[in-house]
Amino acid sequence: MARQPAVAGRAEQLLGSSVISTAPVAGGDVSSAVKLRLSNGRTAFLKTLTQAPPSFFEREAAGLRWLAEVDDGVATPEVLGVDADCLILAWVETTRPGQEAAAAFGRALARTHLTGAPSYGFDTDGYIGRLPLNNQPLPTWAEFYVERRITPYLRVARDKGLVAPADADLIERAAARVGEIVPDERPSRLHGDLWNGNVLWGQEDRVVAIDPAAYGGHREIDLAMLTLFGLPQLPHVMAAYDEVAPLGDDWQDRLGIHQLFPLIVHACLFGGGYGARAAKIAARYL
């Protein structure tokens, strides 16, 4: 690895350790990323975003730390440094997904969810991708899901022509039924953006979750995201999850109602056919 002086210097300011070398990391949709080799023998991961929104990286770091509070819960990378312009995390060396790792991840996710949260929401707002995420608490999951998760992004997508008016109407009507469809549960501690790309299969069967949009909500929304975009070894993850935090027999039939949110967010961020896909799912619940 070579050494980029500006990147290395910024990291050294936050870490108090010399950076021996740097190397760009591909794959991020939002931030630029660099791998750092430090003089203390550690390897780190630095994320930067030009003109990052206010508290963008600080909120991500807070979410990682909140999830990490759970003993034997979902593993997250250690936060080594954070500031308005960047976030530095411990490096996660990845390997191929395996059944034992999947089962361990399922049990850990269940324990994180069971730890719970004080309310439906969080004590600060956050971000999902580059989009602001309103986490102001509401008394019920049905209210929170409609008012904080569906309505704001559906409005953006509709105003930008990313979701057809008829499709938006279907989505709105289906989301309004979440209180009828989804069993009432106390708030779970959620990752909030738990799709395949945010799950790293680390060494020694350690699965690490990154890039959270953490808040208190219904646990099935994390599960809905895992199933929506596909996760290797998902049946083993869910079997182990169910051992620790049993799900109802019809939980898979309900997942679509919670998949509306990530699909609308994807419509806002990427356009394409995500809005039509959300409407097709919504129609099943009407």
> Of 167, 193, 211, 222, which one is the catalytic site residue?
193
In the three-class reduction of DSSP (H, G, I as helix; E, B as strand; rest coil), residue 105 is classed as helix
Distance CA 11, CA 40 (A): 13
Judge whether 57 and 82 are in contact, CB under 8 Å.
Answer: yes
Q: What is the 3-state secondary structure of the chain? A: CECCHHHHHHHHHHHCCCEEEEEEECCCCCCEEEEEEECCCCEEEEEECCCCCCCHHHHHHHHHHHHHCCCCCCECCCEEEEECCEEEEECCCECCCCHHHHHHHHHHHHHHHHHCCCCEECCCCEEECCEEECCCCECCHHHHHHHHHHHHHHHHHHHCCCCCHHHHHHHHHHHCCHHHHCCCCCCEEECCCCCHHHEEEEHHHCEEECCCCCEEECCHHHHHHHHHCCCCCHHHHHHHHHHHCCCCCCHHHHHHHHHHHHHHHHHHHHCCCHHHHHHHHHHHHC
Strands 207-209 and 199-201, by their bridges, are antiparallel
Judge whether 128 and 193 are in contact, CB under 8 Å.
Answer: yes
125 assigned to active site: no
Distance CA 169, CA 282 (A): 10
**Annotated active-site positions, please?**
193
